[in-house]
Structure 1
């Protein structure tokens, strides 16, 4: 009997000692990231004559862990988005300050208004030119900042993808170790430690991209992307790569066509050798990589488009005359007469059409000199839903009607207007099949930067400084001249050299004539222009009509609202992440109070077993003395 008691007490001491050691380990790692609480499960011996150490397991809540990884990826996404949106908003300056975009636009308007009161003042003319230069440098500075942000995200993508690829390799290696360590002695904690390391690696990976984790029967973990592509399978891992392009500019964007893609993409090469474009397939939907891609290819591209539209509107508001069609009819056909005199490449003519079913659409006639791409991407025009029809006008005004008629084809009757004016065109259709609902164009009056005496108020005050100080017309010759215009915007050197051009619009203009200064003010504050739907101002499906000053204010408001919204989303996601961490910590983390309570119980059990051993020893000593 004493021997049985001795054996039982000895086994009890061993189990209790192991449990006390595990409690000590839990307490020591209470603040360690990724450590999951361990518990010892004793095993009763045959015949209930004692206990064995049993197994060491982790108190892991799989549901809480999955939610933690989901919220971690979300927090990385919103965190980077809020950061970059804040940096973008800061580029525009503090609203209302003299150095902010709205401040310099208002300063320019006020300088022109001052010129209307005293056109003879050289100081007033110099102030107006100086204010114009401040506007140009401010807009170009913001646009350069936008491209700097895009280049920074391109570099960050390279670093994040490299880190994620390294983590995938580490997870695959840990899979192999976990499978090999399974079956070790019951008191060995190596498997639990390996599982902790693997979970921590997956948690870190979740900061970069969202993954789906599936535990396998052999203890390994399989990782998949949101679209189902395998990243880790047992001991094999995919390799992630990013073909970064360094410094970016407004002309380079992401496309699924490798030949036209101007920015880097993320690819995964599976162990079998298959290569998957994770951006093209939409495999990455959260985490810092997804956020960087969205910011680089959507948010900042749209911000650049807003600035380009502002630069184009600023230039053409001052240099263009509006051309609006007047109703016309002949031989049962109806349509419009429109004066296109002086039409230049890029001066789009927008026709509203409606078919017999009542469906309406814009049709854009895009004048070219024969060097524009065909087809022209409608997303680069004011209306991305329009049908863009290139029209070669290199033959001059006398050929406008014939060129337009040839481009439009059957269903349209195009001719010179009955008065025979060169450049004036009549467009007619059969309203029963295809009705014309409107016709409008914006015709650039100056033919060159040196053409300051146009005989009217129009003036090329702002020019395309990156293309030889040419007049901006919206041309597509050799590609869209609108793309990147905000970075190239400059004040006409001819006006800088001779500020009297702000007043003198013809050889006979008197020095005190206020016609041109007043025209410039009205062009900025009173003339509505059409700004592209691609800018996202007022909606992404329809062009925006506004004054240049109004559009500038809308851009500033949109940027501020986007930054505030991103900050709010990040704060909300931060709360969600904190809740997930708390929930996971409560279920799987170490509670020192709980461990201390368990330690007291174990100490009591240890003391009891020790007393049994003492009693058994005393009994044996007594028997031996008999």
Structure 2
């Protein structure tokens, strides 16, 4: 009986000693990132004759760990979004300051007011030129900053994808080690350490992309993307790659067609050799990688479009003549007369049509010189829902009516407007089939930057420096001239060289004639232009009608609101992440107070087992002396 007591007390001492060692380990790692509290579960031996050390397990709360990873990915997404939105907002300057976008625009309009008051003043003309150059420089500078941000995100994507791929490999290696160590009772502590290590690797991966974690019966885990693509399966991991394109331009945009894609994409190569485009499949929905993709391909592309629309508005407000159709009817047909004199490639003619069912839609006639792409992408026009019909006008003004009629097809009649201007057209339709509800166009008057004597107020004040200082018309010859126009915006060199062009509409214009300065000022502040729906100002499904100055303010307001919203979302997500960490720490972290309380209990148990061992020894000594 004494021998049984001796063995039992010895086993009790061993278990208590192991438990004390585990408490010591917990306390020592109380502040270690990723460390999960360990507990020792003793096992009663057969016949209750003693106790064995049993197993060492982690007090892991799987639900709070899953939430922690979800919030980690969300915080990485909102954090990068808020950072870039703030950087983008800073490009526009402090609203109201002289150097900000609205400040230079206000300075420009004020200079035109001053010139209207005194057209003979050389100083006033010089002020207009200087202010116009400030506007062009500011707009192009912001646009360049937008592309710099996109280029920076392209570089960050390469770094983040490489880091995520390395973590996938490490997680697969941890799977192999854990499976190999499972079942080895002497390796309980090492298994717990491997599990902690793997959890930290998955947590680190969550900063880059959101993953679904599924535990397997052998102790390994399987990692899947949100769309179900397998990233890690037991000891095998997919490799991630990013084919970055270096410096990005406004024309470099994402496309599912690799031949048309101008930016990098994230590709996963499975162990079996299959390749999956994670961007095209929408597999990455959170984390820094998803944020960088969204910012690069959506947020900053839209910001560029806003600037391009603003640059186009500045140019066309000064150089274009608005043309609005006059309703007419003849021979049972109805439609509009519209003056398209001087129509140039890119001067879109918008026709409102309504079918017999009452469904309305815009039809855009896009004049070309024969080198425009077919079809023309509606998203590159003012109305992405419109039907865009190219019209080849390379044959000259005399062919315009015939070409438009040919493009419109049956159901329409196109002819010269009786008694109208030389370029006037009459466009009619059969109301039984289609009803024309409107007709409008913006016709560019100057044919070149040097064409400053237009005989009217129109002047090519702003030109496209990327096309040899060409007049901007919105042409699609060789591609969309609108895309990236903000970076190429410049003041007409002919106006810079001779500021009298701001006043002289003809060679015989009197020096005090305020016609052109008045026209330019009104074009910016009073004339309503159509800005594309793709700019996202006031919605993404319909064009925006505003003055150039009004559109500028709308862009600034939208940018500030987007930055503030991103900051608020990030602050909220930071709180959510902090709460998730707190919950995980409460459930699975080490509480020093609890460990100290447990240590006192273990000390008492150790002392009791020691006393039993001492008593058993005394009994044996007494027995041997008999």
Q: Distance in 2 between matches of 1:17 and 1:414?
A: 100
Instruction: Give 1:548's aligned residue.
Output: 548
Instruction: Quote how far apart the aligned CAs of 1:234 are.
Output: 0.4
Number of the residue aligned with 1:335: 335
- Deviation, structure 1 residue 55: 0.2
1:261-316 Cα distance to aligned partner (Å, 9 max, x none): 00000000000010000000010000000000000000000000000000000000
Cα shift at 1:333: 0.2
Aligned partner of residue 507 in structure 2, secondary structure: coil
Q: Which residue of 2 aligns with 1:27?
A: 27
The within-5 A match list for 1:199-598 is 199-419=199-419, 421-598=421-598
Whether 1:72 and 2:66 are equivalent positions in the alignment is no
Contact between 1:112 and 1:520, CA under 8 Å: does it hold in 2?
yes
SS of equivalent residue, structure 1 residue 33: coil
Give secondary structure in 2 for the equivalent of 1:227. coil
Match of 2:51 in 1: 51
CA contact 2:236–2:271 (8 Å) conserved in 1: yes
For 2:46 and 2:377, the matched residues in 1 are separated by 81
Q: Is the 8 A contact 1:53 1:187 kept in 2?
A: no
Q: Is the 8 A contact 2:340 2:423 kept in 1?
A: yes
Asked if the contact 2:39–2:57 (Cα under 8 Å) also holds between the matched residues in 1, the reply is yes
Q: Judge conservation of contact 2:464–2:488 (CA < 8 Å) in 1.
A: yes
State the distance in 1 between where 2:624 and 2:390 align. Answer: 116
Contact 1:82 1:567 in 2 (8 A): yes
Distance, in Å, in 2 between the alignment partners of 1:28 and 1:604 is 22
* Inter-partner Cα distance in structure 1 for 2:617 and 2:222: 55
Is the CA contact 1:54–1:186 (under 8 Å) kept in the aligned structure 2? no
Cα deviation for residue 622 of structure 1 reads: 2.8
Deviations 1:355-388 (A, max 9, x none): 0000000000000111111110000000000000
Deviations 1:3-22 (A, max 9, x none): 11111100000000000000
SS at match of 1:133: helix
Please name the residue that 2:171 is paired with: 171
Shift of 1:53: 0.2
TM-superposed CA distance for 1:420, in Å, is 6.2
User: What residue number does 1:93 align with?
Assistant: 93
Q: How far 1:187 sits from its partner (Å)?
A: 6.5
Contact between 2:39 and 2:58, CA under 8 Å: does it hold in 1? Answer: yes
Residues 40-79 of structure 1 deviation map (CA, whole Å, 9 limit, x = unaligned): 0000011101100000000011111111101100000000
Distance in 1, matches of 2:50 and 2:61, equals: 31
SS at match of 1:218: coil
| Unpaired segments ≥5 residues, structure 2 | none
- Aligned-pair CA distance for 1:623: 3.0
CA contact (8 A) 1:319 1:458 kept: yes
In the TM superposition, residue 330 of structure 1 has moved relative to its aligned partner by 0.8
RMSD over aligned CA atoms reads: 0.8
Give 3-state SS (helix, strand or coil) of 2:389's partner: strand
Change in Cα spacing, 1:610 to 1:187, as seen in structure 2 (3 Å) is farther
Matched residues in 1 for 2:395 and 2:622: separation?
127
1:56, 1:186 within 8 Å by CA — same for their partners in 2? no
Cα distance in structure 2, aligned partners of 1:287 and 1:478: 38
> 1:463 touches 1:490 (CA, 8 Å); kept in 2?
yes
- Once residues 93 and 165 of structure 2 are traced to their aligned partners in structure 1, the CA distance between those partners, rounded to angstroms, is 39
- Hey, what does 1:161 align to over in structure 2? 161
Q: Equivalent residue of 1:188, what SS?
A: helix
Alpha-carbon distance, 1:188 to partner: 3.3
Q: Find the residue that maps to 1:310 and give its secondary structure.
A: helix
Q: Structure 1's 187 and 333: CA in aligned 2 closer, same or farther, altered over 3 A?
A: closer
CA distance in structure 2 between the partners assigned to 1:55 and 1:562 by the alignment? 54
SS of alignment partner, residue 257 of structure 2: coil
Compute the displacement of 1:620 (Å): 2.4
CA distance in 1, matches of 2:202, 2:145: 35
Q: Which residue of 2 aligns with 1:182?
A: 182
- Higher mean C-alpha displacement, 184-193 vs 356-365: 184-193
Distance 1:325 1:165 in 2: 60
TM superposition shift of 1:621 = 2.5
Three-state SS of the structure 2 residue aligned to 1:443 is strand
| Corresponding residue SS for 1:189 | helix
Contact 1:314 1:462 in 2 (8 A): yes
What is the TM-score of this pair, normalised by structure 1?
0.99
8 Å CA contact retained: 1:416, 1:426: yes
Contact 2:212-2:224 within 8 A present in 1 as well: yes
SS of the residue corresponding to residue 17 of structure 1 reads helix
Deviates most, 605-614 or 354-363: 605-614
State the alpha-carbon separation in 1 of the partners of residues 432 and 106 from structure 2: 49
Counterpart for residue 613 of structure 2: 613
Offset of 1:619 from its aligned partner?
Answer: 2.2
List alignment gaps of at least 5 residues for structure 1. Answer: none
Is the CA contact 1:461–1:495 (under 8 Å) kept in the aligned structure 2? yes
1:186 is displaced (CA, Å) by 5.0
8 Å Cα contact 1:398-1:422 kept in structure 2: no
Range moving further from structure 2, 111-120 or 303-312: 111-120
Rounded to whole Å, the distance in 2 between the matches of 1:421 and 1:589 is: 84
Decide whether the 8 Å contact of 2:181 with 2:187 is kept in 1.
no
1:252 is paired with a residue whose SS is coil
SS of residue matched to 2:227: coil
How far did residue 431 of structure 1 move? 1.0
- CA deviations on 1:416-466 (whole Å, 9 max, x unpaired) are 111264321100001121000000000000111001110000000000011
Once the two structures are TM-superposed, the CA of residue 398 in structure 1 deviates from its matched residue by 1.4
